[in-house]
Structure 1
Amino acid sequence: MVLVATILTSLPAAADGQITTKLDNLDLDRILNSDRLFNAYAECLLSNGKDRCTPEGTELKLLLAAGLQTDCAKCNDNQKARMDKIIRFTTGNKKDFREKLKAKYDPDNKYFQNYERRFRVTS
């Protein structure tokens, strides 16, 4: 729970209380379709520090964790669609990474389970 509190209190928020839109223009398709880029972001998301992360990766790490843990409650429609795309992509194409992500951010399978049920994503 300390991780959740830390993430939520450090999460960059826009003026209207929504999650920041800084990463809304990140070329998600380019990242998902490039093993080199995907692996760099994956390494960042799975690392325990900022040492393996670009500034965008560090921000993505915060957004992903907060999005999962709050069911994307403060996400705008674009962010929800992007979160959905990432979860669906990893479910279909990067199952090993997805399992590592679940182990790190959701060891009790509480958040992924809620998300998968909501969007009818299947493993």
Structure 2
Amino acid sequence: MMASSVRLHCIGYLCEVYSAVTMFKLLTLVVCLSTIAIEIQAAPEESQYTTKYDNINLDEILSNERLFKSYFSCLMGGKCTPDGQMLRDVLPDALETGCSKCSDKQKAGTEKVFKFLMEKKPAEYTELEKKYDPKGIYKAKYEAEVKKIGVEV
């Protein structure tokens, strides 16, 4: 009788230990999931485009026909450099939101490139316009801003 009582006591103890380990694992999982949920909730939405490529020399690209053609080809759907791909990815959103996520440097660069295209590369500008603004929505939306930078529409 004593042996079976000890055996039952041991089994009960093992069940308690197993339950404690299981409970600890469950508690750890809950804490981890809660932490992840808090991090996701606290993570800010992308309020600005990356500034990783803000130091690219736009004058060099615009004055070098080979570089210009490379970026133009990328925007039209061709092969891209990493910075060209980023530009192609954010361009539709930037047009739609009025560049609201652009840094000041990106806004200044946008004006510079836009003015260059309108004045020096009107054929390429027209191609880009057909691709990114086929209905003329953005052309009408930004007409006043274009005039402010001294470009006739």
User: TM-score, structure 1 length as denominator?
Assistant: 0.78
Question: Which of residues 99, 103, 106 in structure 1 aligns to 2:126?
Answer: 99
Is the alpha carbon distance of 1:22 and 1:116 closer, same or farther for their aligned partners in structure 2, counting shifts above 3 Å? farther
Match 2:94 to one of 56, 59, 67: 67
Distance 1:32 1:109, change over 3 A: same
Q: What is the root-mean-square deviation of aligned Cα atoms in Å?
A: 1.8
Note the residue ranges of structure 2 that are not aligned, 5 or more in a row. 1-43
Ranges of 4+ aligned residues in structure 1 off by more than 6 Å: none
Flag the structure with higher helix content.
Answer: 2
What is the CA distance between 1:59 and its match in structure 2? 0.6
Of 48, 57, 60, the residue aligned with 1:18 is 48
Q: Which has the higher contact order (CA 8 A, sep 6+)?
A: 1
Q: Distance in 2 between matches of 1:82 and 1:66?
A: 16
* Residue identity (%): 40
| Partner Cα distance (1:63, 1:111) in 2 | 15
Could you tell me how far apart the structure 1 residues matched to 2:105 and 2:129 are?
Answer: 23
TM-score (norm 2): 0.64
CA contact (8 A) 1:45 1:57 kept: yes
Structure of higher CA gyration radius = 2
Give 1:16 deviation, angstroms: 6.5
Structure 1, gaps ≥5 residues long: 1-13
